[in-house]
Structure 1
Amino acid sequence: MPAEWSTWPAARHLPGIEQARAYVGGEPGAGWALALDVGTRSIVVVPAAVGVAALLGSDYRRAAWLGLGLVAVVELVALYHARAEFRSGAQKAAQKAALTGQPGAADQVG
């Protein structure tokens, strides 16, 4: 995985990124916040997709599944970037602790 994918600067503008960061960070209640975020987004996106399908004369069920798929993809991208931020932050903290905390630990940091 290229490093620039995990440090994508526009990730902070993803819908649900704050809930994903809290979930990845292990904060209490973050799972409920993430579930409510997905549910709320589904309540908004699925009827909109079905409405567009009605205007275009397409299949409603296919549009509903497409809307749910879109919600899932956006949430998975947010979780992916939140996990990458969390891992890079943990690695930086470990390197800083190794460089400042223990004598001789700077040789072990790659």
Structure 2
Amino acid sequence: MPPVIDDMIQELLTRHRSTGRVDLNDIAEVVDRRAVSYEEVEYIIDRLESEGLRVAEPLDPGDVEVLRAVLASARRLAAELGRTPTIGEIALASGQAPHTVRRALEQAGRAKAC
């Protein structure tokens, strides 16, 4: 595999080792505009799973707690600021990383659409 693939894997491991979960959108965010093949994406997923991370699995109770904390922080900030808070503001208020806040807000949007 090209070194850039290993760099992506290392970034994902650094970001998500503490939570043990990687959303497919997290992988897309790290890949960004780089051209990667289907096989390379499969390789990335296989490597993450071999490191013990759950990839694209349903939320577990810990994930739900993070989601609740992020949403509570977002609501509190919106009331305090009189506007929609930024990802960075929510991250600071909730104690979560910005990528975790983005995924939580995406998950909340998906649940809302159901």
TM-score (norm 2): 0.36
TM-score (norm 1): 0.37
Which structure is higher in helix share?
1
Q: Which has the higher contact order (CA 8 A, sep 6+)?
A: 1
Which has more radius of gyration?
1
